[in-house]
Structure 1
Amino acid sequence: MIKIVERAAEKAGGVVSLARVLGIKHTALYSWNRVPAERVLDIERITGISRHELRPDVFGKAPEAAQ
């Protein structure tokens, strides 16, 4: 499992908890090479981890880091 997903799972109360809230099987989280773009906003809402940190290739650098 990639580090950012591990961190998100910790904040959500575990892998099973995160998967349950996302409506997916927990084993799917282990297959991600990066967070799917369609899951980013949900994970941000659930965990508080910024979309910019989850997928900087899609959302760019965080506004405070861009300066």
Structure 2
Amino acid sequence: MSSFRPLVQEAVRLAGSQQKLADAAGCSQQQISYLLHQADRISAEMAVSLEKATDGQISRNHFRPDVFGPPPSSEAAA
């Protein structure tokens, strides 16, 4: 389940850097790097944190549709 990696890359782009995203998400830069390069999946908790860190530009539904359901049809794909 690595389909979340492009979303994490987009979140990094929106935040400006891995460190800025980590600060906004309340985790370490190393955790963001791990998500980008090694993680098999993203936790539901991290999906919520990244949604908040991107001010909702990338929703938890995009990161974990298996947990939160598919993004609403009115929501633009990230």
Q: TM-score, normalised by structure 1?
A: 0.76
Query: Is the Cα contact below 8 Å between 1:52 and 1:59 reproduced in 2?
Result: yes
Partner Cα separation in structure 2 for residue 19 and residue 10 of structure 1: 12
Unaligned stretches of 5+ in structure 1? none
Give the RMSD, CA atoms, in angstroms: 1.7
2:19 is the alignment partner of 1:10: no
- Higher helix fraction (1 or 2): 1
Partner Cα separation in structure 1 for residue 24 and residue 60 of structure 2: 17
Q: Residues 26-60 of structure 1, C-alpha deviation per residue, up to 9 Å, x if partnerless? A: 11112222322112222112212011111111111
Residue aligning to 1:49: 58
Residue aligning to 2:69: 60
Counting matched residue pairs gives 64
Residue aligning to 2:23: 20
Q: Percent identity?
A: 34
Unaligned stretches of 5+ in structure 2? none
Moved over 4 A (4+): none
